[in-house]
Amino acid sequence: MTEPNLQFALVLHEHNKSITNARHIVFTALQAQEPMSMKELVEKCVIHIDRASIYRSVELFEQLGILQRLQIGWKYKLELSSSFNYHHHHLTCTRCNGIIPLPEDSQLEKRLEYLAAKMNFKTIDHQIEIKGICKKCQTKETR
């Protein structure tokens, strides 16, 4: 069994959830380069399993911390969460709709924590979305 699949199986097992075919298909589909929309995930999986099972898997995975929903534009996208990944944010290009992961930046993280603390706010999680134009699209522009 491959590395991420093993961890996946472990997490399910820890929570007394069955390792089923449907869940496996959804998990596998999520192992992509970029975060994907629910629509894309459904398209990938619906050939094999029912829509309802996809939604149910996503809900379960989110509860178990296997995946997280990212805000990209108005909609959300899905990506395997930091247990299967690392904490990071994204740049999203409004031109080509590309999503560029940003390396983790402790200075940024610290500042956010500081600001929240100043308001007596206990942070659980945070997300940042930076919209703009990526390098590639800027180059095209100036042609």
Partner DNA sequence: CTACATGCAAAGAGTTTGCAGCCCA
Partner DNA sequence: TGGGCTGCAAACTCTTTGCATGTAG
Residue 59 interface partner, choices DNA, its own copies, none, CB cut-off 5-8 Å depending on type = DNA
Q: Residue 6 and residue 117: Cα distance in Å, rounded? A: 37
| Contact indicator for 25, 56 with CB cutoff of 8 Å | no
Q: Residue 90 and residue 108: Cα distance in Å, rounded? A: 13
Q: Residue 119 and residue 86: Cα distance in Å, rounded? A: 27
Q: Which of 2, 125, 142, 143 binds its own copies (CB under 8 A)?
A: 125
Q: Cα dist. 10→13, 63, 91 in Å? A: 5, 15, 32
Q: Which of 11, 38, 91, 116 binds DNA (CB under 7 A)?
A: 38
- Does the protein bind its own copies through residue 94 (CB under 8 A)? yes
Site map (CB under 7 A) of DNA, residues 55-94, x = contact: xxx-x-----------------------------------
Which tokens belong to 77? 């996208």
Binding site for its own copies (CB under 8 A): 69, 71, 74, 76, 91, 93-94, 100, 102, 105, 107-108, 111-112, 115-116, 119-135, 138
